[in-house]
Amino acid sequence: MTGPILDIRGLRKSFGHVEVLRGIDLAVKPQELVFIIGPSGSGKSTLLRCCNRLEEPNAGTILVDGVDLMDRRTNINAMRRHIGMVFQSFNLYPHLSALSNVSLALRKVVKKSRAEAEALALTALERVGLREKAKSYPSELSGGQQQRVAIARALALEPTIMLFDEPTSALDPELVGSVLGVMRELKQDGMTMLVVSHEMRFARDAADRVIFMDHGLIVEEAPPSQIFTSPREPRTRTFIAELTR
């Protein structure tokens, strides 16, 4: 029995006087895909962004692979490499080709040679089905392709967990499928994933566990089959009824 990859305890975060996270406990096991749903303003994106300290939590502990992210002695830059993050707005570097977008951190952070970094980057692009777009610049790619390059960029660093912050929300409906397809393959390859998304159908057939958040707290967590058909909490029921209406 191995410990959780991500272990969050008593996490609190405030923006000014507003407490967005009011004590979150969450553990993600190896190879698990945990899905976070909830109304906007419930704190789900903030929770995700605390997991690599893009947001600085006010209290609580975050263990990634047993390493305490909140410990002063922890090298956060070294840890972030192992925590892949995919953003709603892709955030590809517009001045670099897809290949350089993926290989930059390998070269400058991991300090691999250009040849080695580019070989690994090509492998990562291959995994998201975009090897032939290696030379293209972000402006020459569709939204779905950009997001897949962004996934490859995180993937190339061989993360132990990947965080997805509404990865398909900025995409045209016809492009969503390709991104979800890549995520599904990652799941099959055994990647540990924490996903904030509104793609309920994807949650239903790929997630191991679904977490419903509201007002900075975890209201309910259950396997997708249960949470979508017979939610226990009234608030969950209302939210799911709204979504599936």
Partner 1 sequence: MDTWSRFLDTFFKPELIRQYLPSIAAGTVTTIEIAFAIVVTGILLGLVLAVLRTFRILPVNMMLVACVDIMRALPPIVLVLLVYFGLPNIGINVPSFAVLWIVLSLVLAAFAEEILWAGILSVPKGQWESARSTGFGLFSTLIYIVLPQAVRLTVPPLTNRTLAITKNTALGTVIGVPEILNQATTGQSFSGNATPLMMGAIAYVILFIPVVALGRFLETRFRWSRA
Residues contributing to the site for partner 1 (CB under 8 A)? 52, 54, 77-78, 80-81, 83-85, 87, 89-95, 104-105, 108-110, 137-139, 141, 146, 150, 153-154, 157
CB 131, min distance to partner 1, A: 20
Strand-pair category, 59-64 with 67-68: antiparallel
CB 93, min distance to partner 1, A: 6
Q: Which is nearer to partner 1, 59 or 78 (CB)?
A: 78
Q: Which is nearer to partner 1, 39 or 143 (CB)?
A: 143
For residue 12 the two structure tokens come to 């609190």
Q: Closest Cα partner for 4 from 159, 160, 151, 227?
A: 160
User: Kind and range of the H or E element at 173?
Assistant: helix 173-188
Give, as one character, the DSSP assignment of residue 86: E
Strand-pair category, 193-196 with 161-165: parallel
Cross-strand pairs, 61: 9
CB 85, min distance to partner 1, A: 4
Q: Which is nearer to partner 1, 154 or 203 (CB)?
A: 154
CA–CA separation, 183 and 116 (whole Å): 25
CB 95, min distance to partner 1, A: 5
CA–CA separation, 213 and 44 (whole Å): 7
CA–CA separation, 82 and 59 (whole Å): 22
Q: Which is nearer to partner 1, 147 or 236 (CB)?
A: 147
CB 15, min distance to partner 1, A: 15
Strand-pair category, 83-86 with 161-165: parallel
Q: Which is nearer to partner 1, 108 or 135 (CB)?
A: 108
Q: Which is nearer to partner 1, 120 or 222 (CB)?
A: 120
Give, as one character, the DSSP assignment of residue 155: H
Give, as one character, the DSSP assignment of residue 4: P
CB 76, min distance to partner 1, A: 9
